[in-house]
Structure 1
Amino acid sequence: MNIEENMYKHKLEDECLKNMKKAIFCEDTFASYHENFIEESIRPDLVGKNLKVTDKQLPYIHNMVQEMSSILGIKEPEVYIYEGTNYDVHVQGVNRSWIEISAKTVENFSKNELKFLIGSQLAHIKSKHIYWKILMEQCIKAPKLIENVYNEGMAGIANERQILQMGLKVIMYKWSRVAEYSSDACGYLLVGDIEACISAIKKVIFNNDFISNNVNLGEYLKQADLLENYNSVMARYSKLDEQIPYGPLRIKELLRFVSSSKAKEVRKKMRLLN
């Protein structure tokens, strides 16, 4: 059974993406620049300084990625393991995307925890989240680059640049947060183990096993209500300035999806096929 985008997409994603597209400029130029210059400059270090996952190097990860890519109907991306101090799995690349996983994550995460994180990143590829995320980042950086090029004789441009960047962030980061909800939902559908999904999210958020292991989920989710009550101008801007949803909100949204009839139906069909 294939998992299609409409099986996990958050209800607000299309609207948020539509609004973000209105704010994106020079789409083809930025995409081409990133693919042909930035990514090409990254690849030598990517291959030369990291471990590529193959059927003979960390084969269980290779098989995991191969299986989930097939279920999602996407081309299997290359996967690299890098030395890092954080729990992290992320995707890179506009069109020829690849996944990077920190060695710390591989070492300390269970199979299902790792599967959830990798599956979520594969969803970013399938749904073209990574494409739009890269364009989003390029657009936000653009005003600063323009300021650097035309610095002389442009008094006050810093203020205009900051206002423009703030506006772009508000629009684009809203989409980014919703896209993360969608990818988490896809990760769950691929794994079917909500405890492992929540555990993986906690570990990534806190980057500390002691804190993660001492979370009382009921108490932690109450912090979502506290966040919603912070409504001063500065508090609201701080919340809007986040690319990834706060942990309590992220877990709360995933639990909402897991309890939905849509998620239950997909998981039921997948269990029957297995």
Structure 2
Amino acid sequence: MPALKHADALVYSSHQVVLSDISYTSFTYPGDQEALAALKAIPGAGPLLAWLDANFSEQITHLNNNEQMVRVNANNYGSLFTLVERCCAILSCKVPDVYITTNPEMNAYTSGQRRTCIVLHSALVEALTPDELCFVIGHEIGHIKAAHGLYRQLGDMLIRYWDILSSVVPIPGVGLLRIPLLLAYWEWYRRAEFTCDRAGLLCVQDAAPGLSALAQLSGKVAGYEDERNIEESIAQTEAHKEVNKLVLLVSILENSSTTHPFIPLRLKALKEYAHSDAYRQILAGQYDREPKALAAPATDATDGGTDATAVAAGAADAPAAKPLLAAGADTVDKWKASATGFFKR
């Protein structure tokens, strides 16, 4: 076996803090847990989706991944697999299945609940340094720990089957609630991305590679990397102050269905978190811990993923939520009260 690459990656440093048994609640972005709890409050939705995921969609995904992608393990792209193992050890997560797919788009994603997987696009692996790549891997591990995939699926089903749902729910005017529901769902989706950027930072424990990785997702020009200025990108978050309220409102409406926050906003939020007391406390060992029975073995790759009890624990950990319809209405009310609130994370 060839020697492993990336031996000098930050995650292998003797100074790196391993966050044993850390719970995702320790690093959630404000509003993420509340919005997710609102989705979880739909009666029976969680167990139903967990069953469908385990007995159908996970198996389809597993088969498709193995037929169409390259599976990464200790004997195949071992250096990349070792990076994933180390990131999982730092964030106290079972090692998921890992795949590489040939794709020119810089992207990575995760799926599954019991048998989780991380898919890395070849362009991403080729473009990023090991430390930047570990930030992205840590971000995806954050999604796994928070069981985001299950509730993204729930939101997608609400969007896809809304007409059927509204026709059978015996509530007058339920059809009028579609927009508030969607606004609440998309708002949570974006906040979940901020949460997972924090997970990526906790993995590498250095803001520089995280900021650099995010900056490249918004625009990378080969040969000009030395001229990229992250502070200038962060300054773009002030653009909303340069337009009138009508333009701002139209912009909010046009972008209300985006699933990811704009990169300048993510850069700003990550930098602020890196300088926060909350971040320093976690590295000092002061954080929420998962119950011992639910804490994932850091290097167990045998079954790869978050089990059903961990998903249930996530629901139990979440704060009491308002019904989803109320959450959607609250979102609309907040936007009415302050059009600029959408841009101020």
TM class by shorter chain equals 0.7 to 0.9
Shift of 1:81: 0.3
Shift of 1:24: 7.8
Q: For the Cα contact (< 8 Å) 1:90–1:100, is it kept in 2?
A: yes
Instruction: Provide structure 1 residue ranges, at least 5 long, that are not aligned to the other structure.
Output: 151-159
Which position in structure 2 is the counterpart of 1:85? 104
Shift of 1:217: 2.2
Which position in structure 2 is the counterpart of 1:157? none
Counterpart residue type for residue 225 of structure 1: E
Quick check: 1:140 aligned with 2:159?
yes
Partner residue of 2:236 out of 194, 204, 223: 223
Counterpart residue type for residue 241 of structure 1: S
Work out the percentage of aligned pairs sharing the same amino acid.
22
Shift of 1:207: 5.6
Q: For the Cα contact (< 8 Å) 2:101–2:120, is it kept in 1?
A: yes
Matched residue of 1:81: which SS? Answer: strand
Shift in alpha-carbon separation, 1:211–1:164, aligned structure 2, 3 A: farther
Counterpart residue type for residue 201 of structure 2: Y
Shift in alpha-carbon separation, 1:98–1:208, aligned structure 2, 3 A: farther
Matched residue of 2:106: which SS? Answer: coil
Quick check: 1:125 aligned with 2:144?
yes
Which position in structure 2 is the counterpart of 1:198? 211
Which position in structure 1 is the counterpart of 2:80? 61
Which position in structure 2 is the counterpart of 1:254? 270
Give the Cα separation in 2 of the matches to 1:267 and 1:66: 20
Shift of 1:266: 3.1
Q: For the Cα contact (< 8 Å) 2:46–2:150, is it kept in 1?
A: no
Shift of 1:82: 0.4
Quick check: 1:170 aligned with 2:183?
yes
Which position in structure 1 is the counterpart of 2:282? 266
Shift of 1:25: 7.0
Which position in structure 2 is the counterpart of 1:51? 70
Counterpart residue type for residue 212 of structure 2: S
Using structure 1 for the length normalisation, give the TM-score: 0.82
Shift in alpha-carbon separation, 1:248–1:60, aligned structure 2, 3 A: same
Residue deviations 1:180-233, cap 9 Å, x none? 111111111110221211111122233654686644323222221214666434
Shift of 1:262: 2.0
Matched residue of 1:79: which SS? Answer: strand
Q: For the Cα contact (< 8 Å) 1:68–1:190, is it kept in 2?
A: yes
Shift in alpha-carbon separation, 1:195–1:234, aligned structure 2, 3 A: same
Q: For the Cα contact (< 8 Å) 2:58–2:115, is it kept in 1?
A: no
Give the Cα separation in 2 of the matches to 1:118 and 1:171: 27
Shift in alpha-carbon separation, 1:242–1:78, aligned structure 2, 3 A: same
Shift of 1:257: 0.3
Give the Cα separation in 2 of the matches to 1:57 and 1:15: 41
Which position in structure 1 is the counterpart of 2:171? none
Q: For the Cα contact (< 8 Å) 1:224–1:248, is it kept in 2?
A: yes
Quick check: 1:116 aligned with 2:135?
yes
Give the Cα separation in 1 of the matches to 2:39 and 2:129: 36
Shift of 1:22: 4.4
Q: Which is bigger in relative contact order (C-alpha 8 A, separation at least 6)?
A: 2
Matched residue of 1:133: which SS? Answer: helix
Give the Cα separation in 2 of the matches to 1:15 and 1:225: 27
Q: For the Cα contact (< 8 Å) 1:206–1:212, is it kept in 2?
A: no
Partner residue of 2:201 out of 179, 188, 195: 188
Q: For the Cα contact (< 8 Å) 1:69–1:75, is it kept in 2?
A: yes
Counterpart residue type for residue 50 of structure 1: M
Select the structure that is richer in helix.
1
Residue deviations 1:47-82, cap 9 Å, x none? 022111111111122112112222322211000000
